[in-house]
């Protein structure tokens, strides 16, 4: 507990007044950085633990990172955003959910779990983008913890990124409000959402509300973000055929062009009972997505084990357009104007203007595409 207190004291000095809130009577504030819309009394914190009310004003995280590395863009995963590029990815501390299988629990649960926590490292937006350019990153992403709760800081970084024509991305749980999406939209190109389950009771076990996330996906698509969706397939939690079909049908109702990534669960943090997801289970989930009419369905994080579900195919003629192995691009055939070279069908996504911009590698180059820690 002493460590938690010390960390909170450190973080409370690395703040500035937020923009995503409104003042209420009696010194209270309403924060609308995420779907919880916390009403916070003076001296209290929101559910995320990192946004707090000081004398009737909301203060929010600023000027630090807890994680920073150059990742393959496919790791986010964004499969329809500049394939083969790298993304300078930063993470903060805290989260508005408390998923029992979180792979980044050491930073997301830093103010809830005495066993979690990393030391924040001070940095400026200018230095961040200097590092992005140094490492050859095409994109910048807020990820690892939940970016919505540090949106003021992300926008400051993205403003600097846009001066250098970098693409800016959110890797989010989707528990968004219209206000926060409108706030980040001028600077943010892509919005990846974890659709964790179609069961509201299970969502509430993780600290969320299903309808908030579904609305977040709908709004992000309506506002023009490039949206991709991930569902971690957890045996016994969200892997029934009925639930997977419901997820696929919802995505199709928003747009059949939204890529759906079904990824493999492995035991982590507090969820150690379910078996790890098998390749067979993942392939079946991907098949369900295709059966329900989604144009782009991917089975992720089991390189070489999921057959065609690592690749991108034309929804018009089934031509192989992007061949992948894990994080690497083996072949790329989308035209300069973003179409299938065989039938001229437009392929949804953010694509390079020239095939020459796409970094191709042989399969043995997989380990060269691992994340690089930025010092």
What are the Cα distances from residue 247, in Å, to 29, 172, 274, 286, 320?
35, 17, 21, 11, 26
Structure confidence by residue, pLDDT tens digits, 213-258: 999 999 999 999 999 999 999 999 999 999 999 999 999 999 999 9
Q: What are the pLDDT digits (tens) for 335-360?
A: 999 999 999 999 999 999 999 999 99
Best mean pLDDT range from 10-14, 288-292, 362-366: 288-292
As given in the structure block, the two tokens for residue 260 are: 């759906």
pLDDT-based confidence at residue 3 (cuts at 50, 70, 90): very low
Is residue 276's pLDDT more than 60?
yes
**Among 91-105, 273-287, 289-303, which is the least confidently predicted range?**
91-105
Integer Cα distance of 181 and 170 in angstroms: 11
CA torsion, points 293, 294, 299, 305, in degrees to nearest 10? Answer: 50
Stretch(es) of the chain classified as CATH 3.20.20.70: 64-373
Residue 61 phi, psi (nearest 5): -60, 145
CB 118 within 8 A of CB 65: no
pLDDT at 2: 39
Q: How far apart are CA 122 and CA 151, in angstroms?
A: 17
- Using the predicted structure, report yes or no on whether residue 1 has a pLDDT greater than 50: no
DSSP secondary-structure letter at 81? B
* pLDDT over 90 at 8, yes or no: no
Tens of pLDDT along 186-213?
999 999 999 999 999 999 999 999 999 9
Distance between CA atoms of 183 and 171, rounded to whole angstroms? 16
Inform me whether the pLDDT recorded for 332 exceeds 70: yes
Q: Which two tokens stand for residue 339?
A: 């179409």
Q: To which CATH superfamily is domain 64-373 assigned?
A: Aldolase class I (3.20.20.70)
- Alpha helices for the chain (secondary structure H): 2-11, 105-108, 125-134, 151-162, 178-184, 200-205, 210-222, 241-254, 279-291
Beta strands (DSSP E) in the chain are 15-17, 21-23, 29-31, 39-40, 52-54, 57-61, 64-65, 67-72, 86-91, 121-122, 139-142, 167-172, 190-194, 226-233, 260-264, 297-300, 312-313, 320-325, 328-332, 372-373
Phi, psi of 261, deg, nearest 5: -105, 120
């Amino acid at each position: 507990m002493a460590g938690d207190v010390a960390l909170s004291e450190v973080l409370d000095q690395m703040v500035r007044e937020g923009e995503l809130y409104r003042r209420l009577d009696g010194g209270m504030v309403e924060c609308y950085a995420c779907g919880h819309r916390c009403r916070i009394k003076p001296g209290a914190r929101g559910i995320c633990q990192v946004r707090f009310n000081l004398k009737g004003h909301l203060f929010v995280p600023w000027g630090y990172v807890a994680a920073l590395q150059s990742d393959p863009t496919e790791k986010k995963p964004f499969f329809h955003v500049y394939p083969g590029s790298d993304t300078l990815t930063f993470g903060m501390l805290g989260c508005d959910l408390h998923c029992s299988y979180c792979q980044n629990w050491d930073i997301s649960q830093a103010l809830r779990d005495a066993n979690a926590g990393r030391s924040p490292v001070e940095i400026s937006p200018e230095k961040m983008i200097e590092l992005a350019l140094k490492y050859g990153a095409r994109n910048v992403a807020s990820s690892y913890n939940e970016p919505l709760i540090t949106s003021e800081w992300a926008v400051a970084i993205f403003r600097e990124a846009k001066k250098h024509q970098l693409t800016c991305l959110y890797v989010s749980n989707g528990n968004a409000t219209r206000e926060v999406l409108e706030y980040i939209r001028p600077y943010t190109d892509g919005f990846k959402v974890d659709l964790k389950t179609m069961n509201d009771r299970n969502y509430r076990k993780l600290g969320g509300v299903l309808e908030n996330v579904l609305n977040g996906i709908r709004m992000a698509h309506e506002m023009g973000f490039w949206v991709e969706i991930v569902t971690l397939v957890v045996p016994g939690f969200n892997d029934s055929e009925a639930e997977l079909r419901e997820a696929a049908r919802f995505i199709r109702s928003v747009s059949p062009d939204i890529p759906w990534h079904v990824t493999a669960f492995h035991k982590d943090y507090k969820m150690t009972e379910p078996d790890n997801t098998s390749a067979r289970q993942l392939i079946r989930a991907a098949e369900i997505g295709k059966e329900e009419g989604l144009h782009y369905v991917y089975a992720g994080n089991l390189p070489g084990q999921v057959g065609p579900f690592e690749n991108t195919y034309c929804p018009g003629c089934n031509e192989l357009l992007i061949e992948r192995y894990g994080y690497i691009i083996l072949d790329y055939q989308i035209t300069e104007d973003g179409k299938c070279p065989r039938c001229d069908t437009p392929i949804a996504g953010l694509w390079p203007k020239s095939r020459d911009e796409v970094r191709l590698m042989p399969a043995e180059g997989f380990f060269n595409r691992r994340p690089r820690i930025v010092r």
